[in-house]
Chain A
Amino acid sequence: MHIIEEIKKNELVRNPSEIQKICLDKLKLNPLPNIKSELWRLSNKSKFSSFLDFSNINKESRMSLPYKNISPNIIRLIIGENSSINLEEETYSIRKLKDSEIIKYIKKNISNFDQNDHWSDLLNHCLSSKSNILGLNISGNQVPPIEIFSSSSSECFNAKTLILFCEKNCKVDLLQINIGNKNSSLSQSTYLCLEENTTINHGVVSYGEKKSNLLNSLNVIQKEKSNYSLGSIHFKFNYARFEIRINQLKGAAKTTIKGIQITKKNDQIATYTKIKFNGPNGFVDQINKSLADDKSHAIFEGAIIVPKVAQKTNASQLSRNLLISRHAKIDTKPQLEIIADDVKCKHGATISQLNEEELFYMRSRGLTLAEASKLQLSSYFKEIIECIPISKDRWDLLDVLLQEN
C-alpha cells in the first residue's frame, strides 16, 4: 500500500496545502479505515490494497473523452483541465468558486469528519491538488445541462474534487462521468449544496477499464423544499466503492436515489448510503440494484436515519439484486434507524436470479436465450437508467458500454 506508507512517513505530498495538512494530520495516526467496522468489513482486502498501490505523482495527460459530438448547449467540464468557467446569462449564471471559498468550505466540512466514516474524503483531500478541485456556484432556473468528467491516468492514483453550490430556485441537470483508465485508481469526492427550492437531477456514470479502481464519495446537503434526484450506474471496476451521504438539514426536502452496480469477473463494487433527516416532512425514495455475474461481489449497505425531530418523514428504501452466476456473491443490508414516532418508513431487499418463466415465455416466441436475457436485463436496468439525465447521443454510448459488459 504505497500511499499508506507515504502517509506514515509524511512523504505523501511535498509542500502540502492547508487542507492537505489538516487531512494528513487526521490520517497520520490511523491511515487506514477500521476494516472491522460495518462500513469496511466487506471490502476485499487485497483489492483495497491494490487500490492504494499506485503512485500519486500526477502524470500530465489530457483526458480522452468517450464521445465527441455534443450538443452546443451542454456545458462540458473536465476536472483538472478547465482553468476557468464564468458564464453570466440572463436566465442563469455559473461562476467558478474562488480558492478562498473552496478552502473555507472544505475546512468547515473536514472539521466534522470522522476518520472512519469519511476516510474516502480525507484521503481525497490529502491527494487532491488545487488544480484537481473544481468549485462552481450556479444560479438560475434555465441552466443548460452540465456534464463533468473525471478520470484517472494509467499506473496512477488520481484524486479529483467537485464542489457545487446551487443558489435558491436553481434548477439543473448535472451528469458526472467518472472513467478509470487501465491499471489506475481514481478518488472522486463530490459536494453538492442545494439551497431552498433548488432542483438537481444528478446522474453519475462510472466505468473503468482493466484493473481500474474507484473510490467515489458523494456528499449532498439539502435545504428545505429542495429536490434532489440521483440516478447512478457503476460497472467494470476491479474495485469500486460509492459512498452517498445525504443530509436534509431541516427536513421538508425530497430525495430520490436510484442506482445500479454491475459486477463481472472478479470485480467488487459496493454502494454505501447514509440519509439523514434533521427536520420534519422529509421524503426519500431509494432503489439500489445490483447485478452480479461470474465470481464477482456486489455490496449494498444503506442507512436511513430518522431522529425525533424528523416527524412525518416518508422514507422508502429497496435493495433489488440479481445473481447471474452461482459463483457470484451479493451482500445487502438496508437499514432504518427511527426515533421519531409519526413516520412512514419501509425497507426491503430481494435477491433473485433471471426469471426462468419469463425467459421461457420469450424463447417460446423465437427469441434466443441470449436475446431473451438481454431484454430481461435491459428491463432491469431501465428503471435506473431513466433517472440519469442523459441525452440520446450519450445514451448510445452507455448502451454500447452496457452491451459490452
Chain B
Amino acid sequence: MQTKTKELDPILEVNNLFASTEDLPILKGVTISVNPGEIHAIMGRNGCGKSTLSKIIAGHPSYKITKGEIKFTGQDIKSLEPEERAQSGIFLGFQYPIEIPGVSNLEFLRVATNARRKFLKKEELDTFDFEDLVREKLDLVKMDSAFLSRSINQGFSGGEKKRNEILQMALLEPKIAILDETDSGLDIDALRIVASGIKKISNENTGIILITHYQRLLEEIKPDYVHVMSDGQIIKTGESDLALELEKHGYEWTDNFTKEF
C-alpha cells in the first residue's frame, strides 16, 4: 500500500488479519499500515467490519484473531491486554461511548491519564495537578468543567459523549487514535468542535484512523488515504477524492471492486 512518508517506520501495521466472534468470521484478511503523521479514513456499509477492526486493535476480549498479525511500533500486540495497548499509546474513540453510572468522570480520567504517564515514565499527577491539566484540555473541545463532576457519560447528549472521547484522547496523547464514527449524531457545530479538537491534538508523530460513513467529517479533517471496506476486507484504497466518489455514487458503486490486496 502507498504511504505518504515511506522513510518512517509504521506506527500500526495490520497484516492479513482474520478474526471472528462466537465462531462467526468477521474480518477476512484486512491489511492496513499507518505511518506517523498520517490520517486514514475507513468507509463502508454497516456491518462490513469497520468497528470490529477498531475493537480488535484495541484488544476487545470478545473477538478472536484466527490469522494474521497486528504490529504497533514494530511489536506484535496480539497477546497484550486492552490496558497494555492503551498504556502504550493506542486509543479507541467509541462509536457509542459507554455510560458508567456512579463512576466519577474526573477520577476516571485521572486514573487513565496516570496509567499512560506511568508507561511514559512521566510523573503521575495528583488531583490538583490533574485538574489544572484537564481544564486546559477542556478548552480544546469546548466542554464545561461541570462534566467532570458527573458520572462517566451518564446523561451526556450524543455530542457531549463524543467530545468527552476527544477530551480523553487529548489527555492520553496516543500514538495512534482510531475514531469510530466520531461524527455520528453530531450537529454541524459539534462536528466542527470535535474536528478542530482532533486536529489540535494530532501531530507529526500521531497516526489517525477515522471510521466514518460521511464526507462531512473528511471535509474538516482531510485524510491522506481512504479505504473502502466490504465483507471484512479492504477492497479499495485511494486518496481523499475516493471519499468524494463514494459520496457521489454510494456504496453500490463499490460492489464491483475486486479486492486489491
Interface residues of A (CB under 8 A from B): 356-358, 360-369, 371-372, 375-376, 378-380, 382-383
Residue numbers in B under 8 Å from A382 (CB-CB):
102
Is B86's CB under 8 angstroms from A379's CB?
no
Would you give the shortest CB distance from A371 to chain B, in whole angstroms? 6
Is B97's CB under 8 angstroms from A361's CB?
yes
Is B86's CB under 8 angstroms from A364's CB?
yes
Residue numbers in B under 8 Å from A375 (CB-CB):
100, 103, 107-108, 111
Contacting residue for B100 out of A361, A364, A371, CB 8 A:
A361
Would you give the shortest CB distance from B156 to chain A, in whole angstroms? 14
Closest to A375 in B: B103
6 additional contacts (CB under 8 A) given A367-B112, A375-B100: A360-B61, A361-B97, A364-B59, A364-B91, A366-B87, A383-B102
Is A376's CB under 8 angstroms from B103's CB?
yes
Q: Which among A358, A366, A379, A383 has the greatest number of chain B C-beta atoms within 10 A?
A: A366
9 shortest interchain CB distances as A-B pairs: A379-B102, A366-B115, A365-B112, A363-B82, A366-B86, A361-B98, A366-B87, A363-B83, A379-B103
Is B111's CB under 8 angstroms from A360's CB?
no
Complex alpha-carbon distance, A122 and B152, angstroms = 48
Is B58's CB under 8 angstroms from A362's CB?
no
Closest to B83 in A: A363
Would you give the shortest CB distance from B164 to chain A, in whole angstroms? 11
Beyond A356-B61, A360-B60, whether A366 also contacts B100 by CB under 8 A is no
Residue numbers in A under 8 Å from B97 (CB-CB):
361
Is A369's CB under 8 angstroms from B98's CB?
no
Is B100's CB under 8 angstroms from A380's CB?
no
Is A362's CB under 8 angstroms from B108's CB?
yes
Is A379's CB under 8 angstroms from B101's CB?
yes
Residue numbers in A under 8 Å from B168 (CB-CB):
365
Q: Which among A369, A378, A379, A383 has the greatest number of chain B C-beta atoms within 10 A?
A: A379
Complex alpha-carbon distance, A357 and B103, angstroms = 14
Complex alpha-carbon distance, A360 and B116, angstroms = 16
Beyond A375-B108, A379-B100, whether A366 also contacts B151 by CB under 8 A is no
Residue numbers in B under 8 Å from A383 (CB-CB):
102
Beyond A360-B60, A366-B112, whether A376 also contacts B82 by CB under 8 A is no
Residue numbers in B under 8 Å from A366 (CB-CB):
83, 86-87, 111-112, 115-116, 119, 172
Beyond A361-B97, A365-B168, whether A380 also contacts B102 by CB under 8 A is yes
Closest to B109 in A: A365
Q: Does B81 sit at the interface, judged by CB under 8 A?
A: yes
Q: Does B94 sit at the interface, judged by CB under 8 A?
A: yes
Q: List 21 A-B contacts (CB under 8 A).
A: A357-B98, A358-B100, A363-B59, A363-B81, A363-B86, A364-B82, A364-B85, A365-B86, A365-B168, A366-B87, A366-B112, A366-B116, A366-B172, A367-B83, A367-B112, A367-B115, A368-B115, A369-B83, A376-B103, A380-B102, A383-B102
Closest to B168 in A: A365
- B 62-75 to A, binary, CB cutoff 8 A, 1 in contact else 0: 10000000000000
Q: Which among B59, B94, B98, B151 has the greatest number of chain A C-beta atoms within 10 A?
A: B98
Residue numbers in B under 8 Å from A371 (CB-CB):
111, 115
Complex alpha-carbon distance, A367 and B84, angstroms = 9
Residue numbers in B under 8 Å from A363 (CB-CB):
59, 81-83, 86
Residue numbers in A under 8 Å from B17 (CB-CB):
none
Q: Does B43 sit at the interface, judged by CB under 8 A?
A: no
Would you give the shortest CB distance from A381 to chain B, in whole angstroms? 8
Complex alpha-carbon distance, A156 and B73, angstroms = 63
Residue numbers in B under 8 Å from A362 (CB-CB):
100, 108, 112
Complex alpha-carbon distance, A358 and B92, angstroms = 14
Complex alpha-carbon distance, A366 and B89, angstroms = 9
Closest to B171 in A: A365
Beyond A356-B61, A360-B61, whether A365 also contacts B102 by CB under 8 A is no
Contacting residue for A378 out of B62, B102, B119, B172, CB 8 A:
B102
Complex alpha-carbon distance, A362 and B60, angstroms = 11
Residue numbers in B under 8 Å from A361 (CB-CB):
94, 97-98, 100, 152
Residue numbers in A under 8 Å from B86 (CB-CB):
363-366
Residue numbers in B under 8 Å from A367 (CB-CB):
83, 108, 111-112, 115
Contacting residue for B92 out of A364, A369, A372, A378, CB 8 A:
A364
Complex alpha-carbon distance, A383 and B101, angstroms = 10
Residue numbers in B under 8 Å from A365 (CB-CB):
86, 108, 112, 115, 168, 172
Residue numbers in A under 8 Å from B60 (CB-CB):
360
Residue numbers in A under 8 Å from B92 (CB-CB):
364
Residue numbers in A under 8 Å from B101 (CB-CB):
379
Would you give the shortest CB distance from A388 to chain B, in whole angstroms? 16
Interface residues of B in 180-197 (CB under 8 A from A): none
Complex alpha-carbon distance, A382 and B60, angstroms = 28
Closest to B99 in A: A358
Would you give the shortest CB distance from A363 to chain B, in whole angstroms? 4
Complex alpha-carbon distance, A362 and B83, angstroms = 8
Complex alpha-carbon distance, A372 and B59, angstroms = 15
Complex alpha-carbon distance, A365 and B152, angstroms = 13
